[in-house]
Structure 1
Amino acid sequence: MTGFDRALLALGALAGLLGVAASAAAAHIPGTDSLKTAAQFLLFHAPAIIVLVALTATGITHRLTTRVAAAALVMGLALFSGDLSLRAMHGIPLFPMAAPAGGLLLMAGWLLAALAAFVPTGARQAAPGR
């Protein structure tokens, strides 16, 4: 496992932690529907990032494509959930169009995750029955 993989793994776990924290905050602060959405996105994507990092170690998927998919999910979460959270807690955006840009990165990450399953890995496959 590379240092980049370890960083992605840590960021995936951090997304889970922040998702729990944002869920708790949203439960106690009235009128924070966008914070609930940010929490849901963090909690839904955290396991996906961790699984993508694990897949890079197995060789089942194309490693570079899988790493880029995980990185796109991390960056997309930072923009999308970061923007929604700042708006909910402080009434200000991260920057103009941050949430839509994050959403596009999230979609790209999922598309790359799907493509990673079909990009040849270069690993030799044993013949059936061997």
Structure 2
Amino acid sequence: MAFTDRALLALGALAGLLGVAASAAAAHVAGADSLKTAAQFLLFHAPAIIAVTTLSAAGLTHRTATRIAAAALVLGLGLFCGDLSLRALHGSPLFPMAAPIGGVVLMAGWLLAGVGALLPARG
């Protein structure tokens, strides 16, 4: 398995860890709806990142498209969940428009995952 795939798998696992941590933190912070949303997004996308990366590494999908899809999911999560979490915990954004940009990158990641599934896998 290539280093890129191992890194993406590790980042998917990190997303799961951060999702559990954010869920726990949200249980102890008053009015933490945005932190709960961030936790849900992390927990929903962690297995998707791991699955897309595994499919790519196994050669079952178009390798480049699905690697880019997994990377887009990681980047989108960082922007979207990072912004929501910072707002909930510190009252300040990551940067202006970080959450909407992250959401668009997440949607692009899902689109690329579909494209990677439809494109022929290289032998």
- Number of residue pairs matched by the alignment: 123
Deviations along 1:40-76, one digit per CA (max 9) or x if unpaired, are: 0000000000001110122110000000000000000
Question: Residue 121 of structure 1: CA displacement?
Answer: 1.7
> Is 1:36 equivalent to 2:55 in the alignment?
no
| TM-score using structure 1 length | 0.93
Q: Deviation per CA, 1:61-117: give whole Å up to 9, x if none.
A: 000000000000000000000000000000000000000000000000000001111
Matches within 5 A, 1:1-130: 1-123=1-123
Query: Cα RMSD between the aligned structures?
Result: 0.7
State the identity %.
74
Q: For residues 96 and 29 of structure 1, what CA distance do their matches in structure 2 show? A: 24
TM-score by length of 2: 0.98
Flag the structure with larger Rg. Answer: 1
Partner secondary structure for residue 61 of structure 1: coil
- 1:82 is paired with a residue of what secondary structure? helix
Distance in 2, Cα, partners of 1:115 & 1:53: 14
